[in-house]
Amino acid sequence: MNERDDRALIAAAVIVDNGHVLLVRRRVNEDQMSWQFPACEIEPGESAEAAAVREAVEETGLMVRSVQRLGERIHPATGRRMVYVVCRVLKGTAYVADEVELAEVAWCNRTKLVKYVPYPFYGPVQGYFDLHLDD
């Protein structure tokens, strides 16, 4: 394994509610990525699903539950191993809960999403959006 491959796996919470996906803007950009899904390193002994749920609460204050794993890949911009987990909102209103890490949160329909994230999504994530996001 090279230096990039042996770091912890990252869990990304793909949270869609009422036809909009939740994005967060980090205070410090990761490569060209400014807006992204709530995401974190998976801790030893933790599942990707549990990590995605944990990070949603820690970063946005939303209580969610994991419902589907969309897949795993090496992210082309960061070189990090990613697992994408669909989460459903159980309760709460999204806000910047982690003021050290985040600058903003935004709910995006398809049109707004393209403005916030101008590059292609991982195929299974885009397929999920095609079925669940409003125009």
What domain count does the chain have?
1
Q: Is residue 46 part of a domain?
A: yes
Q: Is residue 132 part of a domain?
A: no
Q: Is residue 22 part of a domain?
A: yes
- Band the pLDDT of 2: cuts 50, 70, 90: very low
Q: Is 32 left (phi over 0), alpha (psi -120 to 50) or beta?
A: alpha
pLDDT of res. 5: 53
pLDDT of res. 32: 60
Q: Is residue 99 part of a domain?
A: yes
Percent of the chain with pLDDT over 70: 92
Q: What integer best gives the mean pLDDT of the chain?
A: 92
pLDDT of res. 81: 96
Query: Helix, strand, or coil here: 5?
Result: coil
pLDDT digits (tens, 9 = 90+) for 8-58: 899 999 999 999 999 999 887 665 668 999 999 999 999 999 999 999 999
- Could you give the dihedral angle defined by the CA atoms of residues 14, 125, 35 and 75, in that order, rounded to the nearest 10 degrees? 110
Output the domain CATH number for residue 21: 3.90.79.10
For 78-103, what is the mean pLDDT? 95
